[in-house]
Amino acid sequence: MNDLNASSCAPIGIFDSGVGGLTVCRKISELLPFEKIIYLGDTARVPYGSKAPETVLRYARSCAAVLLKYKIKMLVIACNTATAFALEALQKELDIPVLGVLRPGATAALSRTKNGIIGVIGTRGVINSRSYEKTLKAQRPDIDVYSQACPLFVPFAEEGWVSGDALFHVARHYLEDLKKKKIDTLVLGCTHYPLLKNTIQAVLGEDVMLVDSAEETAKDVVESLDKNFLFNKEKEVTQPLFLVTDSPEAFRSTGEKFWGTSLMSVQWVDICSTS
């Protein structure tokens, strides 16, 4: 990897399968207000979490290809599933820095747990890959890790159903066993889940610390820009450009819940020609 071709005023490219990565995108833009950002939500192919690793890798490559057309200086995979299955490959294949969300989330969990019992929730893909467990145990072999796939959480988040009885019942079903294991920290191993934080916290109780990797990932981005001399020197604040592979309208209405304010520029992009 080298940064010789990257221009510091070029945008940072971020992608996820849908709206979930906006949680990461928001933290990055809060921490780095002068960076230009292009966010791609692959809404035509969400969810990634139930797809085979090879399929997710192919999707991730095509998302990267779309963003590379905008001459991005850095790629952030704001999706745990794509990080688990495509980070290594994209780091080898691209000549710009490529960052994922998994290691930052694991590091944050380790710094917060007091009793050494950590829960991880994520898509089926992430949980079956055991990526979090391996990353956590590699740093602290003595800790206990309990994992649970929560496949119905992504459609709830994509639909904007972030509270209510239906979500509460589903959350209780998924989280009851983790609660019995006496976890004191829960990694939200899917970038969609922070939107469901209130319900997850209500089911687990206030004593369990919820870790979302958005903040830690944003810090990694700052560090990597610094290391590669890639900070944008232009001091202009702009809202990110949002690209989607399905209806911009649907993305805009749910995306605003993740983003907090209205999403000004949402454009459809043709991903089929790159996959």
Q: Which residue has 């994520």 as its token pair?
A: 122
Active site residue 63: no
- Identity of the residue, 17 or 148, whose beta carbon is nearer to ligand DGL in the bound complex: 17
Tell me if 149 contacts ligand DGL by CB under 6 A. no
| CB closer to ligand DGL, 6 vs 102 | 102
Phi, psi of 130 (to 5 degrees): 55, 25
Nearest Cα to 217, choosing from 29, 51, 38, 57?
A: 29
Neighbours of 58 (CB within 10 A): 16
CA distance 219 to 205: 28
Residue 237: CB minimum distance to ligand DGL, A:
27
272 noted as active-site residue: no
In sequence order, the 6+-apart residues with CB closer than 8 A to the CB of 269 are 40, 66, 243, 244, 245
Candidates 73-81, 161-169, 203-211, 234-242; binding stretch for ligand DGL (CB under 6 A): 73-81
The nearer residue to ligand DGL, 61 or 71, going by C-beta atoms, is 61
Number of residues near ligand DGL (by CB under 6 A)? 17
Q: What residue spans of 115-196 are helical by DSSP H?
A: 124-129, 131-139, 153-158, 165-180
We find the least distance from the C-beta atom of residue 263 to ligand DGL, in angstroms, to be: 17
Closest-CA residue to 252 (of 239, 238, 236): 239
The yes or no reply on residue 212 touching ligand DGL (CB under 6 A) is no
The residue number whose beta carbon is nearest to ligand DGL equals 49
Which of 43, 123, 185, 254 touches ligand DGL (CB under 6 A)?
Answer: 123
> Which one is catalytic: 25, 63, 150, 190?
190
We find the least distance from the C-beta atom of residue 190 to ligand DGL, in angstroms, to be: 4
Please tell me the distance from the alpha carbon of residue 101 to that of residue 87, in angstroms, as a whole number. 10
Please report how the helices 22-31 and 248-259 are oriented relative to each other, as an axis angle in degrees rounded to 10.
Answer: 50
Residue 49 interacts with ligand DGL (CB under 6 A): yes or no: yes
Which positions lie near ligand DGL, rule CB under 6 A? 16-18, 20, 46-49, 79-81, 123, 126, 154, 190-192
Q: Which residues are catalytic?
A: 79, 190
